[in-house]
Chain A
Amino acid sequence: YNVHSGTEISHTMDKSITLPPDEIFRNLENAKRFAIDIGGSLTKLAYYSTVQHKVAKVRSFDHATKVNRDDKLYEISVQEEVTARLHFIKFENAYIETCLDFIKDHLVNTDTKVIKATGGGAHKFKELIERKLGLKVDKEDEMTCLIKGCNFVLRNIPHEAFVYAKHADSEFRFQTTQPDIFPYLLVNIGSGVSIVKVESEDKFERIGGSSIGGGTFWGLGALLTKTKRFDELLQLASKGQHTSVDMLVKDIYGGSYGSLGLTGDLIASSFGKSATADKEFSKEDMAKSLLHMISNDIGQLACLYAKLHNLSRVYFGGFFIRGHPVTMHTITYSINFFTKGEVQALFLRHEGYLGAIGAFLKGAEEDNPNQYSWGENYAGSSGLMSVSPDMNPMQRARSGTFDMLEMDRLERQLVNLPLLQDPSSYIPDTMDLTEDALAREYWLYCFEEALDGVVKRAVASQPDMPEAAQRAEKFRQKYRHKLQTLRQQPL
Chain B
Amino acid sequence: MAECVRLDSSTSSHTMDKSITLPPDEIFRNLENAKRFAIDIGGSLTKLAYYSTVQHKVAKVRSFDHATKEAASDKLYEISVQEEVTARLHFIKFENAYIETCLDFIKDHLVNTDTKVIKATGGGAHKFKELIERKLGLKVDKEDEMTCLIKGCNFVLRNIPHEAFVYAKHADSEFRFQTTQPDIFPYLLVNIGSGVSIVKVESEDKFERIGGSSIGGGTFWGLGALLTKTKRFDELLQLASKGQHTSVDMLVKDIYGGSYGSLGLTGDLIASSFGKSATADKEFSKEDMAKSLLHMISNDIGQLACLYAKLHNLSRVYFGGFFIRGHPVTMHTITYSINFFTKARPQLSVFISFSLINGEVQALFLRHEGYLGAIGAFLKGAEEDNPNQYSWGENYAGSSGLMSVSPDMNPMQRARSGTFDMLEMDRLERQLVNLPLLQDPSSYIPDTMDLTEDALAREYWLYCFEEALDGVVKRAVASQPDMPEAAQRAEKFRQKYRHKLQTLRQQPFAYGSLTVRSLLDTREHCLNEFNFPDPYSKIKQKENDMALKYYQKAVKSLEELSWEQRQFALVRGVLAGNVFDWGAKAVSDVLESDPEFGFEEAKRQLEERPWLVDSYDQWFERLKGPPHKCALFFVDNSGVDIILGVMPFVRELLSRGTEVVLASNSGPALNDVTNGELQILTERIAAMDPVIHRLDKVLAMVVRERQTDLVIIEGMGRAIHTNYYAMLSCESLKMAVIKNSWLADRLGGKLFSVVFKYEVPAGKPSQHSAALSPL
Contacts and interface: CB of A to CB of B under 8 A. Distances in A.
Interface in B668-715: none
Nearest to B245: A211
Contacts of A369: none
B731 to A, nearest CB: 48
A283 to B, nearest CB: 11
Nearest to A273: B222
16 contacts: A192-B250, A205-B349, A208-B303, A210-B303, A211-B299, A215-B250, A218-B274, A222-B278, A223-B277, A224-B223, A260-B146, A268-B218, A270-B218, A271-B219, A276-B231, A301-B304
Contacts of B263: 143, 194, 206
Given A191-B271, A224-B223, A268-B214, 7 more contacts: A192-B270, A220-B223, A223-B227, A252-B194, A262-B212, A270-B216, A275-B221
B289 A223 contact: yes
A354 B300 CA distance: 28
Contact of B215 (A213, A214, A297): A297
B197 to A, nearest CB: 8
Contact of A268 (B126, B194, B250, B299): B194
Query: 4 tightest CB-CB pairs across the interface, nearest first?
Result: A269-B218, A215-B272, A271-B222, A219-B274
A230 B272 CA distance: 15
Contact of A123 (B225, B256, B265, B304): B256
B275 interface: yes
Contact of B225 (A230, A252, A253, A274): A274
A120 B307 contact: no
Interface string B204-225: 0000010111111111011111
A272 B219 CA distance: 5
Interface string B560-590: 0000000000000000000000000000000
Nearest to A274: B222
Nearest to B354: A308
Interface residues of A, number: 63
Q: Which of A141, A190, A274, A297 has the most CB of B within 10 A?
A: A274
A270 B214 contact: yes
Interface string A292-307: 1100110011001101
Contacts of A276: 221, 231
B455 interface: no
Interface in B260-275: 262-265, 270-275
Interface of B: 123, 126, 144, 146-147, 193-195, 197, 209, 211-219, 221-227, 231, 233, 248-250, 255-257, 262-265, 270-279, 281, 284, 289, 295-296, 299-300, 303-304, 307-308, 310-311, 347-350
A309 to B, nearest CB: 7
A321 interface: no
A254 to B, nearest CB: 7
A247 interface: yes
A240 to B, nearest CB: 14
A437 B754 CA distance: 95
Contacts of B307: 301, 304-305, 308
Nearest to A144: B262
A267 interface: yes
Contact of B222 (A120, A190, A260, A275): A275
A245 interface: yes
A191 B311 contact: no
A352 B219 CA distance: 32
A98 interface: no
A13 interface: no
A220 to B, nearest CB: 5
A448 B277 CA distance: 51
A150 to B, nearest CB: 16
B200 to A, nearest CB: 12
A143 B265 CA distance: 12
Contact of B304 (A268, A272, A304, A308): A304
Contact of A271 (B218, B249, B296): B218
A228 B282 CA distance: 12
Contacts of B218: 247, 268-272, 275
B69 to A, nearest CB: 67
Nearest to A122: B256
A218 B257 CA distance: 22
Q: Which of A222, A259, A272 has the most CB of B within 10 A?
A: A272
Given A269-B222, A274-B225, A309-B350, A212 B214 contact: no
Contacts of B224: 275
Contacts of B257: 123
Chain B CB within 10 Å, residue with most, of A123, A267, A273, A292:
A267
Given A211-B270, A300-B213, A308 B226 contact: no
A207 interface: yes
Contact of A192 (B193, B223, B275): B275
A261 interface: yes
Contacts of A442: none
A239 B7 CA distance: 50
A404 interface: no
B352 to A, nearest CB: 12
Contacts of B144: 259
A194 B256 CA distance: 15
Contacts of A281: 226
A222 B311 contact: no
Contacts of B213: 296-297, 300
A408 interface: no
Interface string A386-429: 00000000000000000000000000000000000000000000
Interface in A301-352: 301, 304-305, 307-309
Nearest to A307: B311
Interface string A234-274: 00000000000111000011100001111000011111111
A270 B222 contact: yes
Contacts of B295: 211
A219 B278 contact: yes
Contacts of A223: 227, 274, 277, 284, 289
A268 B250 CA distance: 28
A219 B280 CA distance: 9
Residue among B195, B250, B310 facing the most chain A CB atoms (10 A cut-off): B195
A211 B296 contact: yes
Contacts of B221: 271-272, 275-276
A193 to B, nearest CB: 9
A206 B217 CA distance: 29
A286 interface: yes
A98 to B, nearest CB: 22
